[in-house]
Structure 1
Amino acid sequence: MRSTSGQHAAAIGICAALASQISMNLGAGFAKQLFPMLGAYGVTSLRTALAAAMLFALYRPWRRPVTRAAIPALLIYGAMLGTMNLTYYQALARIPIGIATGIEVMGPLAVVLLASRRPRDFLWLALAVLGLILLLPLGHDDRLDPVGIAFAFAAAACWALYIIFGKRVAGTLGSNAAPWGMLVAAVLTLPIGLGTTGTILFSPAVLLIGAGIALLSSAIPYSLEIEAMRRLPAHVFGMLLGASPAVGALAGYVILDEVLTPVQWLAIGCIIVSAIGSSVVASRPTTTLET
């Protein structure tokens, strides 16, 4: 019975993680179209503020007070969530979605490799490094902005910490971790957005468009990710996120006509295989998934 229950929880977690990637990348594609009007910081702050409002209306987390012991991890989780959004959107403003996501997913990959600590994982690490070498502008594509690449690496570091601390707060706060974490992210990002765009953020047209982006990019995916992290070990969750560069590249192509070169697709493929392969190896000793 416990095994069946664990398999059911794992299946829900897997579906939630994959659905979150589709929603988030579609939202990123639509958000990038707003950059000329609001800038990356403005779009980020609009997204996080509206997503926090949506999540609070949906979950009403104040009904379950946050314990004092959970506050430090929650603050770090929310801060990493806000900083990850700020740096990722700055990367999107400069480089294609697929490439930005390919670099950003190195954060979850690092979580996987550190969790496993096996000599064979150096092979997966080598494959990931090969993917980065092919992806970065070392002569094959001088159009990539180095500042955008730096922001993508910063987002990768934030994503790694987001997974680690998200797993902790999900275990103590459950679904309420998403609205509380998004509130912290909004408090962090909103002053930056207002400082760069002014009161245009509060115009009805911008709020309406922003609500759609917040729903796709934040409210839906982060709620789904919390549900996934509640049901899956961190390394399995990281494995599922390994597919996000391909989803991002497809979203960029469909929404923004961003076309990647064959070498860049090969690089993304190396990173995806590295993330998925290392996670599969890391999960082999585990016979059942904890709920």
Structure 2
Amino acid sequence: MSATVPAPVRGRLAGVATMVGSGLSNQTGAAIGSLAFPVLGPVGVVAVRQYVAALVLLAVGRPRLRAFTWRQWWPVLLLAVVFGTMNLSLYSAIDRIGLGLAVTLEFLGPLTVALAATRRRLDLCLALIAVAGVVTLMRPRPSADYVGMGLGLLAAACWASYILLNRTVGRRIPGAQGAAAAAGVSALLFLPVGVVLALRQPPGAEAVGYAVAAGVLSSAVPYLADLFTLRHVPARAFGLFMSVNPVLAAVVGWIGLGQHLGWAEWAGIGGIVAANTLSVARVKRR
């Protein structure tokens, strides 16, 4: 007699598989998008990504824009600016220092938000571990690109702001309407970039295809996958898995783009991932 898997367990397994697929899709999309940098540059790739994100979120969220009050609009506008700046600084960092290091530095954003919400001795230890990881990644050496690292830290600051603004938007606007409106405004802000690129030197179909793939894989697929995942996987497990994204980024960069990292870089990534994982576990448990 064959054993049957209970429906909740099947749902949990499907949620875990979706989490893995979402993480790999996000980092693979960023890697594919970097292939269009020589033609479109990071700004052009981010512009296309914002267009794709807006189309998906507007279709899902269906915001009633005319019903928004100014109290609802101002955090949406700030969220749109932060959303665009976060992606632009991240992709610019990827262009200079590689996928793994850029994504690792960006993850300092949610780590800072998590540690700021707690006041315990272990949290200080986690902060020191993260600082040690950053010092390892940013140590002085001839090949160090401090502009790229600074862009990665800017992406981290934007992600922290994105989290805080999303909380405000979520409290003031129901459902996904606020996030959809912010994505639409951000796409409008990048519209001149697309016009200038198209008029100055129309990009080839290959470069545009890479950029569109980045938008689909790094925006549309993760967003829709996360909606499914959070129905079947506890928020704590979801947050813990998200902390592993820098490792996925480093592996995808290594395999897909040939971006090799030394032992010191892997140690720095490991320290930041460990601090993220433990901080998320503590916050979710409380």
Interval containing the TM-score (normalised by the shorter chain)? 0.7 to 0.9
Offset at 1:166? 2.0
Separation in structure 1 between the aligned mates of residue 14 and residue 75 of structure 2, nearest angstrom: 25
**TM-score computed with the length of structure 1 as normaliser:** 0.81
Offset at residue 154 of structure 1 (A): 0.4
- Determine if contact 2:19/2:225 at 8 Å carries over to the other structure: yes
Give the unaligned 5+ runs of structure 2. 1-9
Residue correspondences, number: 276
Q: Which has the larger radius of gyration?
A: 2
Which residue matches 1:260? 261
- 1:21 matched to 2:34? The reply is no
User: Contact 1:108–1:241 at 8 Å: present in 2 too?
Assistant: no
* Gap change, CA 1:112 and 1:60, over 3 Å in 2: closer
Match in the other structure for 1:179: 180
Amino acid at match of 1:275: N
C-alpha separation between the residues in 1 aligned to 2:11 and 2:111? 23
Which of 93, 100, 105 lines up with 1:98 in the alignment?
100
Report the alpha carbon displacement of residue 106 of structure 1 after superposing the two structures with TM. 0.3
Task: Report how far residue 122 of structure 1 moved.
Answer: 0.3
The answer to which of 93-102 and 223-232 deviates more is 223-232
What's the TM-score once normalised by structure 2's chain length?
A: 0.82
Q: Tell me, in whole angstroms, the C-alpha distance in 1 between the residues paired with 2:198 and 2:91.
A: 15
Aligned CA distance change for structure 1 residues 203 and 264 (closer, same or farther; 3 Å): closer
Aligned residue number for residue 119 of structure 2: 117
Distance 1:71 1:201 in 2: 35
The secondary structure found in structure 1 opposite 2:176 is helix
Residues 47-80 of structure 1, C-alpha deviations (whole Å, 9 max, x = no match): 1113322433x32614686532432222222221
Q: Displacement, 1:45?
A: 0.7
Deviations 1:139-190 (A, max 9, x none): 3xx3231110110010000011112222333453323344322212212233
Aligned to 2:57: 55
Residues 187, 12 of structure 1: alpha-carbon distance in 2 compared, 3 angstrom cutoff: farther
CA contact (8 A) 2:32 2:211 kept: no
Gaps of 5+ in 1: 1-7, 286-291
Change (3 A) 1:153 1:180: same
Q: In structure 2, how many angstroms separate the alpha carbons of the residues matched to 1:229 and 1:79?
A: 27
Q: C-alpha separation between the residues in 2 aligned to 1:178 and 1:224?
A: 16
Shift of the 149–60 alpha-carbon distance from structure 1 to 2, 3 Å rule, reads: closer
Q: Name 2:48's counterpart in structure 1.
A: 46
Distance verdict in 2 for CA 1:11–1:84, change over 3 Å: farther
Q: Is the 8 A contact 2:100 2:250 kept in 1?
A: yes
Identity of aligned residues (%): 31
Q: Distance in 2 between matches of 1:11 and 1:163?
A: 28
Identify if the C-alpha distance between structure 1 residues 211 and 196 changes in structure 2 by more than 3 Å, giving closer, same or farther.
closer
Flag the 1:66–1:95 CA change in 2: closer, same or farther, 3 A: farther
- The answer on 1:77 being equivalent to 2:68 is no
1:88-107 deviations in Å (ceiling 9; x for gaps): 11101100111111111000
Q: Contact 2:36–2:211 (CA<8 Å) still a contact in 1?
A: no
Distance in 1, matches of 2:79 and 2:16, equals 21
